[in-house]
């Protein structure tokens, strides 16, 4: 097999096909380390795709704000006096100073620390010092308001935004990945929405953002990395005195890996018909009652649908979720080709008993984030793989994505390309989407032209 030729510092449109060779299952290491490609990603992907910004439970009151990120930009998510949520660029229109330097809080107005221009809670420029004497009273306030996102969606409490006014509506963008993401956002007992963020972990790791996004598409193949965690048993439950594994709930389930035409990918599980609650917290009656109620009520509400148990997934490009435990969303914010800022938002049912919230909070920390045992395993892989892929010789050799080539069906009720075996098809689907953005395709192309079959026919 020929090695893939390295590309120069300035990849051209035609280089994308050389970088992403899906037919043969090879992807160039350049896309994980090359600064020029990184710059193009920010321009071609992060200014167009829908990005996760935060959760409405983080800003429950009027005047509440949470500073977030979209790609490499700082943005403010804010609730105005009327209760409407806005997202705008955290950069003053005068000389670019951050108008808000706090992570979160409550305010009646944003005052720029540099020369004191002030902006209202919906981003409008309000006050300009010496407006009459220095600007002849004619400075156009509307034209100098904070830059607002082109579209914003509140989906079951999660706030998403895009800079592209031509982007499809958020639900169209989600496509058939919706029912998988749903169950990270819905209450444990099957009620729609009703979750709240109980904390956000933020940390930086020395690796490309796509290592993390790809891992959460459903790279089940890396499970040996977590062998020590599984042996110790850090799962949320302690079944009949045994240590909880990470995946107790899915032990007897049939696993599915799905790639969607928009570039999203998920790993979910379908439980057998006879799936009963397993006693898990016998020495903690409040937890036992809560988890049993959630399990049985979810079955009652969703019927057959309750058998679908989402595990992990990535909504293209950089928002991943854990659907069961720990439950939450993670945004992988690119800093540089080899540096990523991870923000993990942990979710619980807003009306869960305080004992359950506290129990889950501890489990989330034990599992995820910079101190979480499982996330440490994953990050170790990403950062060593990055360090070992920046060398001149290493960069000449592409990564191998040949696992389970062609082993999927496009004729499954769950939609997309469904694999019933461990597969890299979801990663190949993610990079197929990545290549479409990098080629600057229209939204019809980015959405896969409706179906994978139609798309393939068009190609």
What's the angle, vertex CA 424, arms to CA 423 and CA 426, rounded to 5? 100
Looking at residue 239, the DSSP 8-state letter turns out to be G
What does 378 bind: ligand FES, Fe ion, none (CB cut-off 5 to 8 Å by kind)? Fe ion
Closest C-alpha among 202, 165, 269 to residue 66? 202
Stretch that binds ligand FES, among 75-83, 92-100, 214-222, 314-322 (CB under 6 A): 92-100
Query: Binder to ligand FES among 102, 114, 135, 384 (CB under 6 A)?
Result: 114
Contact (CB, 8 A) for 209 and 318? yes
| Residue 247 touching Fe ion (CB under 5 A) | no
Helix (H) or strand (E) holding 20: strand 20-21
| CA nearest to 46, candidates 152, 162, 147 | 162
Phi, psi of 13 (to 5 degrees): -50, -45
Interface pick for ligand FES out of 62, 94, 335, 455 (rule CB under 6 A): 94
Answer yes or no whether residue 417 interacts with Fe ion by CB under 5 A.
no
Min separation Cβ 226 and Fe ion, Å:
6
Among 77, 92, 213, 258, binds ligand FES (CB under 6 A): 92
Range in contact with Fe ion (rule: CB under 5 A) among 49-57, 237-245, 360-368, 376-384 = 376-384
| Residues 6+ positions from 450 with CB-CB distance below 8 Å | 261
34 vs 90 by CB, closer to ligand FES: 90
Site for ligand FES contains 112 (CB under 6 A)? yes
CA distance 342 to 202: 6
CB of 378 to Fe ion, least distance (A): 4
DSSP state at residue 66 = E
Nearer to Fe ion, 134 or 371 (CB): 371
| Interface region with Fe ion, contact rule CB under 5 A, candidates 35-43, 377-385, 400-408, 422-430 | 377-385
> Of Fe ion, ligand FES, none, which one does residue 33 interact with (CB within 5 to 8 Å by kind)?
none
Q: Does 378 bind Fe ion (CB under 5 A)?
A: yes
- Listed in order, strand segments (DSSP E) in 156-263 are 158-162, 195-205, 254-259
CB of 111 to ligand FES, least distance (A): 9
Please say whether the beta carbons of 308 and 268 come within 8 A: yes
Cis peptide before 317 (omega within 30 of 0): yes
Binding positions for ligand FES, 35-64, rule CB under 6 A: none
**Contact at 8 Å (CB) between 116 and 129?**
yes
Whose CA is closest to 55, among 80, 79, 81, 89?
A: 79
Distance in Å, CB of 222 to Fe ion, minimum: 6
Residue 149 interacts, among Fe ion, ligand FES, none and using kind-specific CB cut-offs from 5 to 8 Å, with none
Would you say 378 or 424 has its CB closer to Fe ion? 378
User: What minimum distance in Å lies between the beta carbon of 380 and Fe ion?
Assistant: 10
Whether the CA torsion 20, 21, 23, 26 is positive or negative: it is negative
Nearer to ligand FES, 107 or 284 (CB): 107
- Give contact residues for ligand FES (rule: CB under 6 A): 92, 94-95, 97, 112, 114-117
């Amino acid at each position: 097999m020929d090695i893939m030729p390295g590309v120069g510092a300035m990849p051209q449109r035609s280089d994308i096909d050389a970088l992403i060779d899906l037919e043969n299952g090879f992807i160039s290491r350049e896309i994980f380390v090359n600064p020029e490609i990184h710059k193009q990603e920010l321009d071609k992907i992060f200014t167009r795709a829908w990005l996760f910004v935060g959760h409405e439970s983080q800003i429950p009151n009027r005047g509440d704000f949470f500073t977030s990120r979209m790609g490499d930009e700082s943005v403010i998510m804010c609730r105005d006096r009327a209760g409407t949520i806005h997202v705008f660029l955290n950069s003053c229109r005068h000389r670019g100073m951050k108008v808000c330097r706090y992570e979160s809080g409550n305010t009646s107005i944003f005052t720029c620390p540099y020369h004191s221009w002030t902006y209202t809670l919906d981003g409008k420029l309000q006050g300009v010092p010496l407006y009459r004497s220095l600007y002849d009273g004619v400075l156009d306030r509307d034209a100098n308001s904070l830059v607002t996102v082109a579209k914003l969606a509140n989906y079951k409490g999660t706030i998403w935004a895009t800079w592209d006014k031509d982007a499809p509506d958020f639900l169209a963008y989600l496509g058939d990945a919706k029912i998988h993401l749903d169950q990270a956002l819905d209450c444990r007992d099957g009620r729609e929405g009703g979750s709240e963020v109980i904390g956000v972990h933020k940390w930086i790791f020395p690796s490309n953002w796509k290592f993390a996004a790809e891992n959460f598409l459903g790279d089940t193949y890396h499970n040996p990395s977590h062998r020590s965690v599984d042996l110790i048993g850090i799962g949320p439950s302690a079944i009949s005195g045994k240590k909880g594994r990470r995946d107790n709930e899915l032990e007897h389930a049939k696993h599915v890996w799905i790639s969607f035409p928009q570039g999203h990918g998920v790993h979910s599980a379908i439980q057998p018909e006879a799936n009963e609650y397993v006693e898990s917290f016998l020495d903690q009656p409040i937890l036992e009652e809560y988890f049993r109620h959630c399990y049985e009520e979810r079955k009652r509400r969703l019927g057959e649908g309750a058998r679908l148990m989402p595990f992990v997934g990535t909504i293209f490009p950089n928002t991943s979720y854990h659907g069961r435990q720990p439950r939450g969303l993670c945004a992988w914010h690119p800093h540089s080709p080899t540096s990523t800022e991870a923000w993990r938002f942990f979710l619980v049912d807003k009306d869960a008993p305080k004992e359950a919230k506290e129990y889950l909070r501890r489990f989330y920390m034990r599992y995820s984030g910079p101190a979480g045992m499982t996330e440490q395993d994953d990050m170790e892989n990403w950062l060593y793989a990055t360090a070992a892929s920046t060398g001149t010789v290493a960069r000449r050799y592409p990564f191998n994505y040949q696992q389970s080539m062609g082993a999927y069906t496009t004729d499954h009720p769950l939609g997309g390309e469904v694999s019933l075996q461990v597969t890299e098809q979801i990663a190949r689907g993610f990079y197929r989407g990545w290549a479409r953005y990098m080629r600057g395709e229209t939204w019809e192309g980015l959405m896969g032209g409706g179906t994978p079959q139609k798309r393939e026919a068009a190609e």
